[in-house]
Structures are given as structure tokens and as C-alpha cells.
Amino acid sequence: MAASRYRRFLRLCEEWPVEETRQPRDLGSFLRQRVAQAFREGENTPISDPEACDQMYESLVRIHTNFYKNKYPRLKDTTFTGVTVEDCRTILATDILKQMEGIKKGTWKRLREKFSAKKPEEDLK
């Protein structure tokens, strides 16, 4: 039985897309890591709680197949702010978030970093 569960999870991992723009935070890559951890011995891995394993698989399949998106369709593909799905993807890209880290700093901190002789990391020591 563990072999069939392992194969189902592998098939799900193959179908799940990996989004390169969110590499360290991508659900597809996280799923692959967790499956590799859970099934360290491959098909021979003993499963302590088969019911929980099956529930996890079914939940992931519902997410992957957009079960709830199809069950409860939205009237518009925007949020209340008017931001589209594509805009959200762009904003949540890793490189954009790194750029935003510089903007998030307060004015005082930016001025202190700009005019300070030592690096900000040295202040923390």
C-alpha cells in the first residue's frame, strides 16, 4: 500500500508546476522536498498513519485541480483594490520583494546607513 501512495505523490509532484519567480517560497518545490522527506525509503517507506497520508494527498489534489475555485466561482478576477491576478504574481516575485526591502526601511535608518562610517551589521554586535 505504501508503494501506491508513494507513486501517487510522485505523480502529483510531476504535475505540480514550479514557479521560478518565487523560487525559495514556491509551493511546488516545497511539496517536492516534503515528499522526499516523508518517503525517504521510496516505495518501502513504512507509513505510520495511512488515513492522514490519504487526507493530505486528497487535500493537495483539491488545491492542484482548483476544486474550490471551480466550486465557488468569482464574478471578477480582481480584488477589491482592482489588482489583477497577474499584477499579484508580479508583486510577489522574489526579485520585486527584495527591491521592496530597501523601500520598507525607515527614513532614519536609511540616512544612518548612508552617512555612517561603519556598516549596519557592525551596529548589531
C-alpha span between 25 and 21 (Å, rounded): 9
pLDDT in 10s for each residue of the chain, 125 residues? 678 888 999 999 989 888 777 777 788 888 998 998 888 888 888 888 889 999 999 999 999 999 998 999 888 777 777 778 777 777 777 666 677 666 666 767 767 777 776 555 555 55
User: Distance between CA atoms of 41 and 51, rounded to whole angstroms?
Assistant: 19
Helix or strand (DSSP H, E) at 94:
helix 94-104
pLDDT at 57: 93
Q: How do the domains of the chain map onto residue ranges?
A: 1-73, 76-118
Exposed, middle or buried: residue 39 (CB in 10 Å: 0-12, 13-18, 19+)? buried
Residues 6+ apart with CB under 8 A from 21: 89, 92, 93, 94, 95
User: How many whole angstroms from its chain centre is CA 5?
Assistant: 23
CB 7 within 8 A of CB 43: yes
